[in-house]
Amino acid sequence: MEETFARNRKSRGTEAPLVSSSRLANRRNSIPGSRFMSKASMPLKVLLGVSVLWTASVAGFFFWDSHMSIWNAQEMAIKEARGHFNKDVALRKWAARHGGVYVPVDERTRPNPALSHIAERDISTPSGIKLTLMNPAYLLRQVMSEYEELYGVKGRITGFKPLNPDNAPDEWEAAALHQFERGETEVFEQALINGVPYIRLMSAMVADEYCMKCHSRQGYRVGDVLGGVGVSVPLQSYLEGVARVDPEKVLLLAVIWIMGLAAIYAIGLLIRRRVEERKLNEAALIRKNREIVSANAYLTRFAEISAHHLMEPTRRLVSYSQRLQGRLKTMPDEARNDEIYQDLQVLERDAAHLRMLVKDIQLFLAAGEPVDKVCIQDVDALVSSLLQRLESRLKRAHVRLHIDKLPPATLDKSRLIDLFWILMDNALSHGLPIDDNAVPEIHISGERVGKLSRYRISDNGPGIPLQYRERVFEIFERLTTTDTPAGAGIGLPIARRIVESRHGKIGLEDSPLGGISVVFELPDDN
């Protein structure tokens, strides 16, 4: 793994610190600030807004109630008008069914010229009192006049061909009569009569057989609209009742308004207290996070510098041990000390192992930061390139390799290469079967799961017991106790650091081939 990483990161300066302190400082300073804290006046503004909204709602209800009171007053006036109309219709029908009414002739009731064609329009009683026939319209007009004088309710019969010219329609009545001709049976509206508000209501007057005595000579037939009966009810008394403000209603609304404001204020205080507590907790959390990030930055920087400065002594140890071994080889056999030569070999091996550990530490520190632009990568092409470099190892181990179509991954290319190299190297180093007669197999597969790209590298090796599958992702943890330069126990931790830096997951599962499967997921979002 050391040689491969050296090639992969040659252009990145592996010997130098891989994560600069300025980058860590910027990361520390970029902790999300309290945008909420910069809006200290927000609760007060919300409280005022809700109070205004509540006041507007109460006022709106008051005006709506006033409007409904006016509407109810108009409805009551309309019902009264219909009642008067029904009374007039009943009186007219009674008179029509009796063929009219004979009444004494006086100054107010003169013989009706429109009934001159009737033979017995005028008669006399045995005592000599002169009587004249009043047709229903004539009778109703007088009754309406009396009713208006007594109660202020105006009544009127009108039509386009009245027997009495005084019953000719005015402008509003003419419009209503035209609506009756189009099928309407009732028309009403609020209007001013001599400056006084009235509800004017008119209903259609339909001819029946009793009407033909007077109207047949005008060409009317049973079922025709003769005209209309109108009633005008004064609204003043209704409107005065509406205009009077009910103190009890106003008091009730005032109490509701004050109670609502009190509830809003109490809730506002509670919210403000919670906001202040949240601000204090948030400020404490931000300070704690800054302390943690600052401490991590210093520790990381210390580890980088330590690893950087340890690299040179280890290089010198290897170099000087090799030089001393060379000198011992050139010495005569009687002067050569084999024990010293073996000690130098051990020293060289341990120095090389220490150098590899220092490099692995540098790689682990750098694994959490992208090296270049994070974007969508062609994993098929990347794995094919890595397999060319592993071709000789695969042939020596006689590995049977299976590679499926792999989905693209969102990551910077350098770390994606490192990630697959670590896992493939791990499979070749620890995933080969123990039985010499078994054919080694490695299967690389992938799939899309929602917005995740999931990859699986499986082998048919000895596997890893369940209780150790989390432990192998810890730094410098190995399941073997052999003290060899290879296998420092940092490959899988580096892989986890790369995956988790992208908010992905990595873990171990049982392999379909009988060994172990390393499964990791990378999300699409950056």
Q: What is the DSSP string of 275-297?
A: HHHHHHHHHHHHHHHHHHHHHHH
pLDDT band at residue 218 using 50, 70 and 90 as cut-offs: low
How many Å apart are CA 436 and CA 210, to the nearest integer?
125
Q: Examine the domain organization and report whether 335 and 382 are in the same domain.
A: no
State how many domains the chain has. Answer: 3
Evaluate if residue 91 carries a pLDDT over 50. Answer: yes
Domain contains 484: yes
Q: Where are the alpha helices (DSSP H) in 108-135?
A: none
- Joined together, the tokens standing for residue 343 give 């000690």
For residue 340, the enclosing domain spans: 2-26+285-364
In a domain, 145, yes or no: yes
Same domain, 375 and 462: yes
Percentage, residues of the chain above pLDDT 90: 17
Confidence class for position 440, pLDDT limits 50, 70, 90: very high
Report d(CA 366, CA 370) in Å as an integer. 8
Residue 160 shares a structural domain with residue 144: yes
Q: Tell me which of 497 and 365 has the higher pLDDT.
A: 497
Distance CA(261)–CA(444), nearest Å, equals 67
Strands in 367-419 per DSSP E? 375-377, 400-403, 409-411
Provide the pLDDT for residue 66.
Answer: 78
Residue 31 has pLDDT above 50, yes or no: no
Residues 416 and 334 in one domain: no
Q: Is residue 50 part of a domain?
A: no
In the predicted structure, residue 522 carries a pLDDT above the cut 90: yes
Which pLDDT score is estimated for 382? 93
- Answer yes or no: is 128 within a domain: no
pLDDT for the residue numbered 334: 64
How long, in residues, is the chain? Answer: 526
What is the rounded CA–CA span in Å between residue 494 and residue 325? 35
Does residue 380 sit in the same domain as residue 519? Answer: yes
Give the end of a domain, one of 319, 339, 364: 364
Asked if 517 and 386 sit in the same domain, the reply is: yes
How far, in Å, CA of 390 to CA of 395, rounded? 9
Determine the pLDDT at residue 214.
Answer: 66
Task: Supply the mean pLDDT for the chain.
Answer: 79
Residue 21 is predicted with a pLDDT of 42
What are the tens digits of pLDDT across the range 289-310?
A: 888 878 777 777 777 777 777 7
Whether 409 is covered by a domain: the verdict is: yes
CB atoms < 10 A from the CB of 483, how many?
9
Same-domain pairing of 332 and 308:
yes
Q: 131-145, 276-290, 397-411 — which is least confidently predicted?
A: 131-145
Q: Are 379 and 349 found together in one domain?
A: no
Taking the CB of residue 97, how many other CB atoms lie within 10 A of it? 12
Task: Give the model confidence (pLDDT) of 442-484 as tens digits.
Answer: 999 999 999 999 999 999 989 888 888 888 888 776 666 444 4
